[in-house]
Amino acid sequence: MMNVRQVIRGARLAAVLVAALAIAACAKNEAENSQGAAGAMAVPGSQQDFLVNVGDRVWFETDSSELSAKSRDTLDKQAQWLQRYNRYTFTIEGHADERGTREYNLALGARRAATVRDYLISRGIAANRMRTISYGKERPVATCDDISCWSQNRRAVTVLDASS
């Protein structure tokens, strides 16, 4: 019991440290590759490691669920990492930008999530480790009304389950 608590406390401290270092790195020099700086500090196999050293998301063209070469690259890295740290289960979230009708975008988000799911399965990740969910256009990350925002919102995000 004691041990478990200590581990949790330690993990929290590590997370806080990583966050603090990441902020420091950004503040120090924005031009510097802050992702690399923070990544160096991320505990291998941690969620932070996955976020900064692998990349949790891929992006899509308008009204498309096709994977670009860059997206396949990211998903290859995700597959390698997930194979190495196979204790993780995860959810693939499919999203759409706001330039579509609500119900179609729900289906489009599901189609994008399914594309990522199928790709990860083809790279040897067990289907029972993953579930998919579509948020359609309901959860944008960027909320300006121009192309730069829309392109960030057309995404599929691999979210590691916190409990795994």
| Interface with another protein (CB under 8 A) | 63, 65, 98-104, 106-108, 110-111, 114-115, 118, 133-134, 138-141, 143, 145
Whole-angstrom Cα distance, residue 53 to residue 35?
A: 7
Comparing C-alpha atoms, which of 77, 12, 17 is closest to residue 51? 77
Q: Residue 40: exposed, middle, or buried by beta-carbon count in 10 A (0-12, 13-18, 19+)?
A: exposed
Residue 106 CB, nearest approach to another protein (Å): 5
- Looking at the Cβ atoms of 21 and 107, the one nearer to another protein is 107
Angle of the 102-122 helix axis to the 69-84 helix axis, nearest 10: 60
- Looking at the Cβ atoms of 42 and 108, the one nearer to another protein is 108
- Looking at the Cβ atoms of 54 and 96, the one nearer to another protein is 96
Residue 85 CB, nearest approach to another protein (Å): 24
Residue 74 CB, nearest approach to another protein (Å): 19
For residue 42, the 8-state DSSP code is S
- Looking at the Cβ atoms of 74 and 115, the one nearer to another protein is 115
Residue 110 CB, nearest approach to another protein (Å): 4
Question: Is beta strand 90-95 parallel, antiparallel or unpaired with respect to 130-136?
Answer: parallel
Coil, helix or strand at residue 139: coil
